[in-house]
Amino acid sequence: MVNITSQQIINLRAKDPSIIASDMARIIGRSRERIRQLLVQLQMETDVRYTKWKFCIQCDSMVSQGATICQKCITQNGWVIVICQTCNIFIKRRTSYVKRTYTSHRYKGNIFCTQKCFKVFIKGKGRGSTNDKNSM
């Protein structure tokens, strides 16, 4: 059975996923500890200050860690707008390509605007660089 205070907590967390217990307590008029207890009872996150929230770049809904676009936007449209991981510009790609990069061992969910950006990203990660022992 969900009481009025629990329903208020659910509504506040739905509006702002990063709201902390002390702010909820101030709005609802209960103690911070009572809000924490209700959050535990509702099986909701009690400390959201250190959670990194990411949002879909098309519809602003929350996405999983490492993603830039939600599944709804990927399946709804034929094309999506994504961000190049190297130069941070917006680029348009087919949804099938975006889905493939999330499951690819090589790209690991990273999308690039050009092959040059991909090579810069690989060198920055320490892979693909060569040791120049002969040049010394």
Q: Could you report the per-residue pLDDT of 8-64, keeping only the tens digit for each?
A: 988 888 888 778 888 889 999 999 999 999 989 888 887 776 556 677 777 777 776
Same domain, residue pair 70 and 95: yes
Residues 82 and 117 both lie in one domain: yes
pTM of this structure: 0.38
Residue 109 and residue 78 share a domain: yes
**Domain containing residue 104:** 54-124
> Could you give the number of structural domains in the chain?
2
Weakest-pLDDT range from 8-12, 39-43, 65-69, 71-75: 65-69
Q: Is residue 101 part of a domain?
A: yes
Q: How confident is the model at residue 131 (pLDDT cuts 50, 70, 90)?
A: very low
Give percent of the chain with pLDDT exceeding 70. 76
Rounded distance between C-alpha atoms, residue 54 and residue 95, angstroms: 19
User: Does 37 share its domain with 86?
Assistant: no
pLDDT digits (tens, 9 = 90+) for 85-127: 888 888 888 877 877 777 777 777 788 888 898 888 888 764 4
CA distance readout (Å), 17 to 26, 28, 49, 108, 123: 16, 16, 10, 27, 36
For residue 112, count CB atoms less than 10 angstroms from its CB and return exposed for 0-12, middle for 13-18, buried for 19 or more: buried
CA separation, residue 98 to residues 66, 74, 76, 107, 112 (Å): 13, 8, 13, 10, 11
Residue 134 within a domain: no
Determine, yes or no, domain membership for 36.
yes
The answer to whether residues 62 and 15 belong to one domain is: no
Question: What pLDDT is stored for residue 2 in this prediction?
Answer: 66
Tokens of 39: 């959050």
The single-letter DSSP state of residue 120 is: H
**Residue 23 within any structural domain of the chain:** yes
**Backbone phi, then psi, for 47, in 5-degree steps?**
-125, 100
pLDDT (0 to 100) of residue 133: 43
Same-domain pairing of 75 and 106: yes
% of the chain residues with pLDDT over 90: 5
CA dist 72 and 58 (Å) reads 10
115 in helix, strand or coil?
Answer: helix
Say if 131 falls within a structural domain: no
Cβ atoms of residues 21 and 9 within 8 Å: no
136, part of any domain: no
| 15 and 71 inside one domain | no
